[in-house]
């Protein structure tokens, strides 16, 4: 099972194209065929789903209840800002202009592997988010995740 990880900063040309990190590309399942869906994410970043993963998202959304307010809102605001993108022959993706402005991306963008999907951040926004994270938080997170993780059968 693949899982995106790592962080890569790349520049974006004046046409909105960014080269997709090579290490991430190697994880792509052939069934995705270099096709993705970009969507507005939380905290001002973008989410990039490989096509096969996106199918799961769609399915989850289709089960959202249309007759509750939150179900409708979730569905509407997710799908309306979703667009197909794909890698070109030089392994770049062209991010739609709307999304670039939404994410406040200027000349650089940061890819962050999030397991099943990828986040794309403007470096400035990311830094802001980092600064708001208190310094001990990382340590806490660490203990939480690794503390349980490394001893195989402790929970």
Partner DNA sequence: AAGTTCTTGACACATTGTGGCAAATTAGGG
Partner DNA sequence: CCCTAATTTGCCACAATGTGTCAAGAACTT
Question: Using CA of residue 118, residue 121, residue 123, residue 126, what is the dihedral sign?
Answer: negative
The distance of closest approach from Cβ of residue 140 to DNA in the complex, given in angstroms and rounded to an integer, is 30
- Least distance to DNA from the beta carbon of 13, Å? 5
Cα 71 to chain center, whole Å? Answer: 22
Q: Give the count of beta carbons closer than 10 Å to the beta carbon of residue 97.
A: 10
Q: Which residues contact 96 (CB under 8 A, 6 or more apart)?
A: 16, 38, 83, 85
For DNA, the binding residue among 52, 58, 71, 96 (CB under 7 A) is 96
Residue 104 interacts, among a copy of itself, DNA, none and using kind-specific CB cut-offs from 5 to 8 Å, with none
The H-assigned helical ranges of 16-134 are 22-25, 51-62, 69-79, 97-102, 123-131
> Dihedral sign, CA of 98, 9, 146, 53?
positive
Q: Binding-site residue total for DNA (CB under 7 A)?
A: 23
Judged by the rule CB under 8 A, the positions of this chain that interact with a copy of itself are 3-7, 23, 37, 41-43, 53, 56-62, 64, 66, 69, 72-84, 96, 98, 112-117, 119, 133, 137-139, 141-142, 144-146, 148-152
Residue 116 C-beta: closest distance to a copy of itself, Å: 5
- Judged by the rule CB under 7 A, the positions of this chain that interact with DNA are 8-11, 13, 15-22, 25-26, 88-92, 94, 96-97
């Amino acid at each position: 099972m693949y899982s995106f990880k790592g962080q890569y900063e790349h520049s974006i040309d004046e046409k909105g194209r960014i080269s997709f990190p090579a290490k991430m590309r190697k994880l792509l399942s052939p069934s995705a065929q270099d096709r993705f869906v970009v969507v507005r994410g939380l905290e001002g970043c973008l989410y990039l789903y490989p096509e096969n993963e996106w199918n799961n998202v769609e399915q989850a959304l289709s089960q959202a209840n249309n007759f509750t307010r939150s179900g409708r809102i979730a569905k509407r605001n997710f799908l309306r800002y979703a667009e197909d993108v794909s890698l070109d022959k030089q392994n770049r993706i062209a991010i739609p202009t709307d999304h670039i402005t939404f994410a406040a991306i200027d000349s650089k963008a940061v890819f962050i592997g999030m397991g099943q999907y990828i986040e794309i951040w403007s470096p400035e926004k990311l830094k802001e988010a980092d600064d708001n994270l208190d310094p001990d938080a990382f340590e806490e997170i660490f203990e939480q995740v690794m503390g349980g993780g490394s001893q195989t059968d402790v929970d």
